[in-house]
Structure formats: C-alpha cells, structure tokens
Amino acid sequence: MRIRITETDALIVVDMQKDFMPGGALPVPGADTIVPVVNKYVERFAQTGNPVYLTRDWHPDNHISFSSNGGVWPKHCRQHTEGAAFAKGLAIPSDNRFIVSKGVSEDFDAYSGFQGTILESLLRERGVKRVFVCGVATDYCVKHTVLGAENLGFRTVLLEDALRGVDVKPGDSARAVDAMLERGSVLCTFEDLV
C-alpha cells in the first residue's frame, strides 16, 4: 500500500504520556518503544505543513475512572502532575500543533479524543477529511478515537507501527484493530507513506 499525505490530512497522537510509559502509574507494555516511530510521523506531518493533534488524559484527582472512586484504573494522568506530562523524548512541533485534553471532568470518562473536547471543531476548522492515528492504548483510547472519527465522517488511517495496547485480556488489541478495520479504517506503516 502507498499513501500520500494530502492537504486535508492530520495526525492524531493519542495519549503518549509518562503515566502510560514503563514505570508510570498505568504502564502500557512497550509504549516507550514506539516514541521514535511516533516522532517520525510527527516530523513528517510537520514537514508537509499538516496539523498535529496530541490528545492527553487530564484527570482531576477524584476522577470517575480511578479505582478509588469505583472505576477500573489506578490513578493516572492527574492534572498538572509529572505523570500527565508527555512522554520523555516525544517530538512536539512548535507550530501547527494542538493539545486536546480529555477526561477533565470528575464525573465523565472519555476514552475517545472526541468525547467532551473540541477536537472535531478543530479538525473541521482546518478542513481535515482524513486522520492518521497512533499512540496508546490500541484497545482503549486509540480504538475509541478512531471509531469516533469514523462516526463523525472522517476517514481514518491506523498507524500500525506506532501503536501499543494494554491487553487486559489477551488478544484485546488484535480485536480492537479488527473492530477499527471493520468500520473502515486502513492500516499503514511509515514505509507506506509517499
């Protein structure tokens, strides 16, 4: 497959934050190993003048998703903490980049970068028609961001070499990829870009 980046494309980098890296509060296995690959995509989109959107969990201390509040996850990515910062070494363009915070309300969970955020408005404002998506976790926030994009009418490209999943149940990430493909997403790697 060969894919050309066009003027109506954008990159969405999902939740590449310290708490999801090894040693973080909610580590995604191997998440640190994709930082260099994510950086290649960020640099490529920056070179072509296309926008880069970085989503992040930005939770209050008493967020509904935390196990201490009846949720399923340990406390992670709490607002203004080191764990909520972007991963060490992650390339963040100085221009044409947008940071989208999600899960900011204590009583509203959000796996998708579109839930309770202005991401859709930002994309529409720029005339974006297709989004390229990478990051963590394949089986949660990446999956829901891709499905959200598809539901909103954006075409989606899943960047296969820049994903890592949690796999709470073995095979969750593979099943998530299948679900995204069934909704119309296509897979590509950096070598597929022209």
What's the token pair of residue 179? 């679900």
Mean pLDDT (whole number) for 152-175? 97
Report the DSSP pairing between strands 52-57 and 9-14. Answer: parallel
**What is the structure's pLDDT at 157?**
98
Fold of 9-192: Rossmann fold (3.40.50)
Q: Retrieve residue 187's tokens.
A: 């897979």
pLDDT grade, residue 133 (50/70/90)? very high
Catalytic residue positions? 15, 102, 141
- pLDDT value at 71 more than 90: no
Half-sphere exposure of 144 (CA within 13 A, CB side): 14
By CB atoms closer than 10 A (0-12, 13-18, 19+), residue 120 is middle
Q: How many C-beta atoms surround the C-beta of residue 121 within 10 A?
A: 10
Q: State the Rg of the chain over Cα.
A: 15
Instruction: Give the pLDDT band (50/70/90) at residue 1.
Output: confident
Residue pair 64/108 in contact by the 8 Å Cβ criterion: yes
Query: What's the rounded Cα separation, in Å, for the pair 160 and 193?
Result: 12
pLDDT value at position 182? 97
Token pair, residue 147, equals 């499905």
Q: Where are the domains of the chain?
A: 9-192
Mean pLDDT, rounded, for 26-47: 97
More reliable by pLDDT, 70 or 117: 117
Taking Cα atoms as reference points, which of 184, 49, 34, 22 lies closest to residue 127? 49
